[in-house]
Copies of this chain bind each other. A is one copy, B any other.
Amino acid sequence: MKIEAKLAERGLILPATVQTDASVRLPFAQVRVYGGRAYISGHAPLNPDGSIAGPLGKVGREVTLEQAYHAAELTALAILADLKRELGDLDRITAWLRVFGMVQTAPGFQQTPAVINGCSDLLLDLFGPEIGAHARSAVGLAELPFNIPVEIEAEVAIAAE
């Protein structure tokens, strides 16, 4: 349980899975495991109880770069939490492959790489430069669900149980 020991050392908490309003149906898998890969749905920044974490809004207007960096970190933790529920043990991850970082931007805000670094920095810190290395895009979306400032989709390679 190497990765979870590191999370504990850093005082980082894996949140409950996303909790939304009863009117919102999300009829898909947060993590889809198949053939040595886990495909990870677009995730939001979450509070420990699984509620969406604020501040909400467009980055560069209602949300600062620093707040958005933190939101990307919380989003990475939400991804790790769903991976743990699905895989049982985060040490089964043998390689991060792809991180697709989406930032809900105010017109003209283009420091999207600096926002998604909140996710990349945490993954590299926890998994190290070999397992943690990942291809990445970090781009500005017009609108994200629930008015979240950051949403991240990803793909990892996993070892058999």
Residues of A within 8 A of B (CB): 24-32, 34-37, 39-42, 95-100, 102-103, 105, 107-114, 117, 120-121, 124, 133-147, 151, 153, 155, 157
Contacts and interface: CB of A to CB of B under 8 A. Distances in A.
A146 B28 contact: no
Given A27-B124, A29-B134, A32-B134, 16 more contacts: A24-B114, A25-B114, A32-B133, A34-B157, A35-B157, A39-B97, A39-B135, A41-B135, A41-B136, A103-B143, A107-B143, A109-B143, A111-B145, A112-B143, A139-B151, A140-B143
A42 B136 contact: yes
Copies in the complex: 3
Question: Closest 8 CB pairs between A and B?
Answer: A140-B143, A42-B137, A39-B135, A28-B136, A32-B135, A41-B135, A142-B142, A105-B143
Contact of A28 (B25, B95, B135): B135
Contacts of A26: 113
10 contacts: A25-B113, A28-B134, A28-B135, A29-B134, A30-B135, A32-B134, A34-B95, A98-B155, A139-B145, A140-B141
Nearest to A102: B139
Contacts of A41: 135-137
A158 to B, nearest CB: 11
